[in-house]
Structure 1
Amino acid sequence: MNPPKKRKSATMDETKRIDYVLVVRDENLEKIQLYLSNLNTLGLETEVVQGETVPVNFVKIIISNSALKHFSEVYDVGNEEINEGMSIYTEPIYTNPFKTPLSDTMPKANKEITDAERIVIVNMVLESTKYGAKDQEYGLTKLINRHIVDCAYPLHDGPANYNMVNTRSLLLRFWANFGYIHKEQPLDTIYRYFGHEIAFYFAWLEYFNLMLIPPSILGVLCFFVSIFYAFFVENFEIQEMCNSHHVILCPTCEEQAQCKYKKLSSYCSLSTWTVIFDNYFTLAFAVFMSFWAILFRTLWKRKENKLKLRWTTNIEDLDTEIRPVFEDRAVHTKRNKITGEIEPYTPRLVRVCRYSITIIACAFMLFIICLAMLTIVILQIMFARYCDSSNNYYLLVNSKWMTMVMGSTLQVIFIKLFSKISAPLSIKLTNMENPRTQQDFDKSVLYKRYLFSFCNNYIPLFYLAFIKGKMYSVPHASNFLNRDVCTPANCVVPLCIQLSFLLTLKALVGNICSLIYPYILKFLKRLFRVKEKVAKVIPQWEEEYGLFESSRYLLTTEFTEMIIKYGLVTFFVSAFPLTPLCALANNVLEARSDAYKLVALYRRPLPLRQAGIGAWNGVILSVTYLSTATNAFVIAFTSDIVPREVYKANTHGNSLNGFVRSTLTRYGTKDYSKYANLHERRDHCYFRGHYNPTGHPQQYDLNRTYWTELTFRFIAVMIFEKKKNILNKSTESAFSPHQKQKPCSPSACVPVPPSRCQEAVWARFEGPPLQSSIFESRKFDSGGIE
């Protein structure tokens, strides 16, 4: 075994740890001399060294202990009074099979400054230090925007090596390791090293994975029970479809002379899968998932509030300071009515114009998404016509399967390509808007990015669920675009295929590619730079300069993908009960791959002080309510559960015998001139729909069955929504920490002191009871501390 490659330590004189690194070119060194001098005056040590493998200069910055203590009090970072009971652990390590040696790490001691808070303090000093004579010439962000400083990044506490003893190496070994994929995540260590934002993200991801376990198990049971139900209990629909050799379907490729008629029995396999994914068990599973979504949000709110107390995070810790970029670009000023100070501002007319441009740009991007989906639909229609008119037996028999797989693959490819464009566009549009505070800037980027991802991922699914095949009327009244019809059963199978491709091809393959991409890039660099000399000893600050840049919105992209996956789990679970299992498998891989990227592949991100997951709570709430309506409409309008019940009610035997035939309409080929040009001649054919048949006085008009089913479909939606409201109220009342009590007299309303047993249980799990001063400074609602 070869010895590990030697690296220069991330310290000065092997005694002081480097906190921050600035990358500056030779021509800009003189421009930051005043900036470095001011940093030295404030108690920060600086040293400039030349790069050994890259033609740049590295400015190493260290904050002294006295300066760290002083600025922690100035910026109110790391001075929190810690309730000792919130960190009590009584279980030894390794008693739980899912624990790691990092599981029992204390969040922080009283008035302790963690590694993440140390970086936050240094960054605040760098952002407030002047580099010029003018009042507005200050801050590291302005130096980077003016291209005086190429980039700046905090340094890891050491190299990522299993043989090293530092927090980064421990996280690499016990967290960012696929061998520990079944272990719990060391959230306290993550909080101490990376800060609040990253810790809350992985806490939410871990909670999401744990909550996915029950629906994954029930989804698998629902799938196998549906198979048994389809083959052994009520297989009338499958038998009728497979034995209908005499029923001939109307072709959709009539413009080609080689177009062939198909028998209804050719869709036997599709009918089998339709019954498996469209039955009463999937309906019950959809009702369960509606309850699960409400429970998910309620329990996460409680867990988030407990983590806020544990990690000493208050909701008042919001970034409401004016952005330096806003000050640079704002040309108007006015006096603040409260403080009396002169502040920059943007006139209302300018803001309206900027937001109008943003709305137009977002509308144009949505138009591109719809145009791409329409293009894929046209390609599907053309490919289906080619298969239906082909003499190849394999293409003729499997045309529907091949068309659905091709369309889903093209859609996933477009989704991946569009996400590469929409992510930077959201930042550019927000820069053009120029919000006043960093909090407004971050929220604006978040909402734009999620809007693009929502439309990019869900518009094809909504098309398959609610539009595909609905515009098709009769053969002679149809045009090219509405020929994208469903199978003779329904559109549940195409929806299942699209969902499975989004959860496997897009998510799974995307994670694998993101992991192997850096190694492929390094291999190509070595391949084309064979003769380039590489230094044997590389300093850590220079080595991390070659890693991927950790942008401020790195986690916004990851969180967007997770919320999209949460929507996939809740929106269309009635059509594909295996969605929770696929999402769980992808999320487990996602958690470790994201951890590995943060620890080994990316520069250390700047810790952000954030109270919980912030605006994502509102997004989750919106998705939760929208998911119930979506499932209700999928059950009512996409599946055949309602038509089956209507058919049973209209038959004397309460059976499904003849149900498939009742969904078809007889059509006379003589009524369509293009059918006469086909080589194969037929007197009549059938198409899916409830119309009056040929020869009827009102032929090809919607019949009474159509209106009856439509009425009961809307009734089914209202019943589903009513059940959801009942479940929502019961869930909130069951998990509310404050139950309604009967009124009592003032003398009788005396608080009962907790028993010793209650105090021990509280100390064991959550620490001792909170003091009255904490209660006085916070408000409570049904979800806990807000």
Structure 2
Amino acid sequence: MEGDIGIQISGDIETPNIQKQNTTSSGFDFLQIPQLQFAQLGYPHAQQWIQAKRATLRPWSLFVNSNNFRAPPSVTRIGKRIVKNVEYFQSNYLCIFIGLVIYCLITSPLLLLTLAISLFICYKVSQRHAKQELTLFNHKLTLAQVYMVVYVCSLPMFYLVGAGAVLFWVLGVSSFFIAIHSTFYNIDSVLCPGEDELNALVMQELPEVDETNLFFRDGIRSIDFVLVWDEHDTHSLSFRCTEFRKIFEKNLENEGLQLEYEDVEPNGLRFIKIHAPKTVLRCYSAILKLRLPMKELIKNNETTTTQSSNVLIQEVNSWINNIMKYFYVDQNIFPTMKHNFTSVYSRDKEYLFDLDKPDFFTSSTRSRIVQFILDRTKFTDNSEDDFAFGIDRLISEHAYVAAYPLHDGNLRSPGSMRYLLYKHWASLTKCFHYQPLDYIKDYFGVKIGLYFAWLGFYTHMLIPASIVGLLCFTYGWLTLYDNKPSEDICNGNNSIDMCPLCDHFCSYWDLRETCLHGRLTYLFDNPSTVFFAVFMSLWTTLFLEFWKKYSAEITHRWDLTGLDAQEEHPRPHYLARLAHVKKKKNNVITNAIEPKVPFWSMKLPATILSFSVVMLLIAIAMASVLGVIFYRMSLLTTMSLWGNSAITSNAILFTTATAACINLCCIVLFNWLYVWLAEYLTEYELLRTQTEFDDSLTLKIYLLQFVNYYASIFYIAFFKGKFIGHPSTYNRFFNYRQEECGPGGCLTELCIQLSIIMIGKQVMNSILEMLEPLFYKWINTWKVHLKPKNSMKNHQNNLNNPNNNLQRNFVKKYSPWIRDFKLVEWGPRSLFPEYLEMVLQYGFITIFVAAFPLAPFFALLNNIFEMRLDAKKLLRMYRRPVSQRVHDIVITNGFIIAFTSNFIPKLIYQLYISDNHSLDGFLEYSLSKFNTSEFEAGTSPANNLRHIEICRYSDFREPADSIDKYKYTRVFWYILAARLAFVVLFENIVAVVIILVRWCVPDMSQELRDKIRREVYITNEIVIHHEAQRALQRNTINEPEIICRQYQQNENANRWNHVMNDCTSITDFDLEVHGAPVSSTRTDGLS
């Protein structure tokens, strides 16, 4: 029971009883502030402040009364209790703070002596000031200003004697004490003395509240859905909305649903509970063609998998199972669900189904059926308005506030499925365990179950990629000091003067300053990089093929075949925007009259506007990348002017890292802008159905996010440093020199950019994903606890009249429909950001993985926690989603290796240039020479004190004394041809291996095919068995019928043998089961 009462406190509150206690002895009188002669101070404001604090000083006996200490009833009440205690006991807390200060002064002689000296100086200065005002820079100082000067001058002395440590100690101890006291002191027992007695009386008369109560008042009919509307909302109270609700609820009852109304809450919320009787469930199960479990046959057991007779294989499997049992789902908590044979429900075949089972219709099925009815029930008697139906449109019209199914209990109710999932699935301590996917699917529905199945599979597949990436990085680390080019940079005997990085202001620099950059480059650009790139290309193919195979198993296990494609109705917002359109048209499919969208006045302008804004947003993303480029160039110039070798040697790394952080901030900001604008533009396009709306929105957001995240990475990988020219003739952009890569290429900068954006995005997304629903949950909680203006008066009446409705209000405070209303609504597109985040991450670890071998490892770490945080967020922050049924759910690495890394130039040098086929002399060979006398006018270094005649730069060009001065050498063209050949060879090798992998890994395993055939056979046996029983009961079985049945059975067997040879997906099996023609649609991925 909550002991706190939400009463707004303002000012100083003193009850008569407390005032009386102030005049009596409390046993702590020695702590009271003595009577001082305030007039001697001469400061009226200080006198008033001290008098006010003394007047609000509470009796110390009340302050430490042990009877008033009580644990806070809930986390949400802690803040209110602390605020009330600080307002009421502020003078007492101030006394404690002063007492701690005095204690520190007494126990620190040097600090006390310093304070005494400062006070003595202030006293002398005040005497001097009384005789003659002091002046500073011809400005007369007041006494307060003189004191301030003295205190500022004495700060160094206070610091030396430890005043800072004393100050922080006093603040820390006093804050801790105040926090503990204000958290556990029940101030409501002081402000409302009769509250505890009344609550005790109520609790004696009331039984323990069952927070898992999900039934009507009769305790029999379950609550399948809840509707909420606000009595304090002017729109909801309008005659139009009132009539809408009245007709809507009447039509719901006409559909067979049962409604129960709750009394109005103090905050004005009205709750309507909905129950779907079995007759309604049976009717709409047939309409929705739901696949429901059939009756079991005792003689038919479940299919068992064949075990190998090889003893060695059995031993290996046993050893693996002993290890993996620590990662499997706990069978005591989530026992393996028995696989039931299912069939499409039909009213004329009800004898095949066990309708008398209590859990035949699960809670997710019930809520789905009720949602289907709510979406199609009309709320007006106007026959001309064909689209006046659906709960979504009523919510958009403010007739209702929310509509949602209830969670199965709360997070503290042992035994409920929500509690089990929260404790044994969403907990971070279970992050290395398998997921109870069947239970997730049963609780949240197929759509969310498929998301967690895909995320779990994707995370599982990241394990081998992470191991190989770590091995490649380890190889680079172990062979770091064996790399000849980087060792030549770090340990070279002769200095190599490099050309300036910018015009005029930058000077020449020694190549040895880039030692750290060279070694970092080798960590990610070593011989193992090629192997890792090839491996990741194969991993991508294996991931897709194994997902097809795994999704086929999930599709079969969850009966996702035979999804009925229903004709979608127009969206409520679409109809609202076309309410003024008078021209109508007839829908040839539904034969309904719909408004016709004017092409020239609405459709065409909206399309042009949408396309133009998307192009503008892409240009803005490109402009932000350009701005970051200018930032890097400016910062590099500034750091070169600094002159400190420790700074200039790491200038490239520092500018790349800071620019990546700025780019990440721009990405996060643009993401919010893109989503908001994309939703607005898509709404403006007047798309008729929700599917069309979602497809258009998905395309816009993904296009914008792709440009936003990958633009800077593509620039560094394929454009930076590729078209800069040479020192005598630089290729300029807006009269600025282009950026240059380091001596080892741009792979290190690409790695830094990739790691900061990828890891930073994951961290920021995880934080925002948890904070955003917390914020909306707090808003909903505030709405629930919001009381009207007369709530204080009503509350006082409740205290004075124990025989009123307080008991019922007490029970309603714990009602599950109110508890779930505080949670955040799970919208139809709530899973889209989760999928988009994973798709972008997938791009990072596949498109650019050659530059950052650790990307799969960081993605694995993120996904391990992402999976559990998403689960925790769903169970704790969001209302229970309505179950939805759905079907299911290489070249760039070669270019990165060829054109961004130095792999190809090193390979050419080893094979054709070096005499001993090593990298000795490669550094000198990869640097061209430039005569410093040939700089462009105004671009030569301003301080050429060393009079350097030749500087070096990274390129393959002829020297100054050559006939083809500064033109590309023949080796450059050899390297370019080798790079292009490598790309072609890389892609063809990967393509051949991909073809082999796809041929070796079928979309459906033979075991699954055999299992499906077995289940089809057993399903037919069940149908035949029940048909025979019904025939025996009617005593109408005759020989011709038996012969006919045997013939049909043989025909079914032949047909299924044919289907198993021809069909490649589970959808084909389902279509054959129900007599539909086999479709060419394949269940290959996630939708």
TM range (shorter): 0.7 to 0.9
Alignment match, 1:743: none
Q: Deviations over 1:190-216 (max 9, x none)?
A: 111111111111111111011111111
Question: Aligned pair 1:12/2:216, yes or no?
Answer: yes
Quote the residue 1:296 is aligned against. 543
The aligned counterpart of 1:706 is 972
Give percent identity, aligned residues only: 29
Residues 1:550 and 1:784: Cα distance change in structure 2 (over 3 Å): closer
| Residues 1:389 and 2:641 are matched in the alignment | yes
Provide the secondary structure at the position in 2 that maps to 1:678.
coil
The residue that corresponds to 1:603 in the other structure is 879
Residue of structure 1 equivalent to 2:683: 431
Distance in 1 (CA, whole Å) between partners of 2:719 and 2:1008 is 58
Counterpart in the other structure of 1:360: 612
Specify whether residues 700 and 578 from structure 1 end up closer, same or farther in structure 2 by C-alpha distance, changes over 3 A only: same
- Counterparts of 1:516 and 1:716 in 2: how far apart (Å)? 47
Amino acid at match of 2:831: L
- Asked if structure 1 preserves the Cα contact closer than 8 Å seen for 2:563 and 2:885, the reply is no
CA deviation digits over 1:456-512, x for unaligned, max 9? Answer: 211121111111112311234243654322111111111111222233222134314
Deviates more, 1:135-144 or 1:709-718: 135-144
Q: Which residue of 1 aligns with 2:247?
A: 34
604, 624, 632: which one pairs with 1:380? 632
Q: CA deviation at 1:342?
A: 4.9
Partners in 2 of 1:453 and 1:261 — Cα distance?
41
Say if 1:96 and 1:23 are closer, same or farther in 2 by CA, change over 3 A. same
Give 2:745's match in structure 1, choosing from 473, 485, 490.
490
Structure 1 165/80 Cα, relative in aligned 2: closer, same or farther at 3 Å? closer
* 1:131 counterpart (369, 373, 379): 379
Query: Quick one: distance in 1 between partners of 2:72 and 2:996?
Result: 62
SS at 1:11 equivalent? coil
Q: Shift of residue 316 of structure 1?
A: 4.1
Kindly report which structure 2 residues correspond to 1:275-294, keeping only aligned pairs within 5 A, or say none: 275-294=522-541
- 5 Å-filtered alignment, 1:714-753, equals 714-736=980-1002
SS of equivalent residue, structure 1 residue 465: helix
Once residues 765 and 593 of structure 1 are traced to their aligned partners in structure 2, the CA distance between those partners, rounded to angstroms, is 39
The Cα offsets for residues 152-191 of structure 1, whole Å up to 9 and x where unpaired, read as 2222122122x33212111111111111111111111111
| Letter of the 2:762 counterpart | A
Check conservation: 1:320, 1:437, Cα contact below 8 A: no
Matches within 5 A, 1:336-485: 342=593, 346=597, 351-475=603-727, 476-479=729-732, 481-485=736-740
**Mapping 1:166-565, distance limit 5 Å:** 166-232=416-482, 235-244=483-492, 245-256=494-505, 259-314=506-561, 316-325=563-572, 326-327=574-575, 329=577, 331=581, 332-335=583-586, 342=593, 346=597, 351-475=603-727, 476-479=729-732, 481-515=736-770, 537-565=813-841
Q: CA deviation at 1:271?
A: 0.9
Once residues 58 and 609 of structure 1 are traced to their aligned partners in structure 2, the CA distance between those partners, rounded to angstroms, is 28
- Alignment match, 1:748: none
Q: Which of residues 896, 901, 908 in structure 2 aligns to 1:639?
A: 901
How far did 1:327 drift?
4.8
Partners of 1:600 and 1:116 lie apart in 2 by 18
1-structure distance, mates of 2:759, 2:301? 40
C-alpha spacing 1:760/1:207, structure 2 compared with 1 (3 Å): closer
Instruction: Assess, with a 3 A threshold, how the Cα gap between structure 1 residues 736 and 524 changes in structure 2: closer, same or farther.
Output: closer
Relative to structure 1, the CA distance from residue 311 to residue 659 in structure 2 (aligned partners, 3 Å threshold; closer, same or farther) is: same
Read off the aligned partner of 1:483 and give its amino acid letter: Q
Q: Is the 8 A contact 2:267 2:786 kept in 1?
A: no
Q: Which residue of 2 aligns with 1:620?
A: none
Q: 1:669/1:7 Cα in 2 relative to 1: closer, same or farther (>3 Å)? A: farther
Cα distance in 1, alignment partners of residues 786 and 257 from structure 2: 41
Partners of 2:379 and 2:571 in 1: CA distance: 13
Q: Cα distance 1:768–1:96, how it changes in 2: closer, same or farther (>3 A)? A: farther
Counterpart AA for 1:173? K
Q: TM-score, normalised by structure 2?
A: 0.64
CA distances 1:597-636 after superposition (whole Å, capped 9, x unpaired): 11101122233221112xxxxxxxxxxxxxx111111011
AA aligned opposite 2:489:
M
For 1:56, which of 269, 284, 287 is the aligned residue?
269
Cα separation, partners in 2 of 1:180 and 1:283, compared to 1, 3 Å: same
Instruction: Classify 1:115/1:3 alpha carbon distance in 2 versus 1 (closer, same or farther; 3 Å).
Output: farther
Q: Which residue is equivalent to 2:397?
A: 146
**Match 1:155 to one of 372, 389, 406:** 406
- For 1:317 and 1:503, the matched residues in 2 are separated by 40
Which residue, out of 866, 876, 896, partners 1:590?
866
Q: 1:525 to 1:436 in 2, by over 3 A?
A: closer
Distance of 1:775 and 1:68 partners within structure 2: 24
Is the contact between residue 585 and residue 594 of structure 2 (CA under 8 Å) also seen in structure 1?
Answer: yes
Q: Assess if the C-alpha contact under 8 Å between 2:293 and 2:341 holds in 1.
A: no
Structure 1, unpaired ranges of 5+: 614-627, 740-753
Distance 1:392 1:211 in 2: 47
Tell me the equivalent position of 1:70. 283
How much has 1:95 moved relative to structure 2? 5.4
Q: What SS does structure 2 have at the residue aligned with 1:714?
A: helix
| Distance of 2:72 and 2:1015 partners within structure 1 | 46
After TM superposition, give the deviation of residue 519 of structure 1 in Å.
6.1
Distance 1:726 1:186 in 2: 38
Q: Distance in 1 between matches of 2:517 and 2:758?
A: 21
Amino acid at match of 2:378: K
Give per-residue Cα distances to partners, 1:286-334, cap 9 Å, x unaligned.
1111111111111111211221222121264345413243455554544
Query: How far apart, in 2, do the equivalents of 1:139 and 1:155 lie?
Result: 20
Aligned partners of 1:341, 1:547: CA distance in 2, in Å? 37
Q: Which amino acid aligns with 1:550?
A: W
TM normalised by structure 1 equals 0.86
What is the aligned partner in structure 2 of residue 574 from structure 1?
850
Residue 501 to residue 765, structure 1, CA distance change in 2 (3 Å): farther
Distance in 1, matches of 2:258 and 2:1083, equals 46
Cα RMSD of the aligned pairs, angstroms, is: 3.7
State the secondary structure of the residue aligned to 1:193: helix
| Partners of 1:699 and 1:159 in 2: CA distance | 79
Structure 1 contact 181–588 (Cα < 8 Å) conserved: yes
Cα distance in 1 for partners of 2:682, 2:940 equals: 59
Cα–Cα, structure 1 residues 315 and 586, in superposed 2: closer, same or farther, change >3 Å? Answer: farther
Q: Does 1 or 2 have the higher relative contact order (CA < 8 Å, sep 6+)? A: 1
Cα distance per residue 1:101-141 (max 9 Å; x no partner): 22623476746433322222111111111111223211112
Residue from 642, 645, 661 that aligns with 2:924: 661
Q: Please state whether the residue corresponding to 1:489 is helix, strand or coil.
A: coil
**Structure 2: which amino acid aligns with 1:254?**
D
Segment drifting more, 193-202 vs 768-777: 768-777
Secondary structure (helix, strand or coil) at the match of 2:725 reads: coil
Secondary structure in 1 matching 2:513: helix
State the shift of 1:440 in Å: 2.4
Q: Per the alignment, do residues 447 and 50 of structure 1 end up closer, same or farther by CA in structure 2, a change over 3 Å counting?
A: farther
**Matched residues, number:** 749
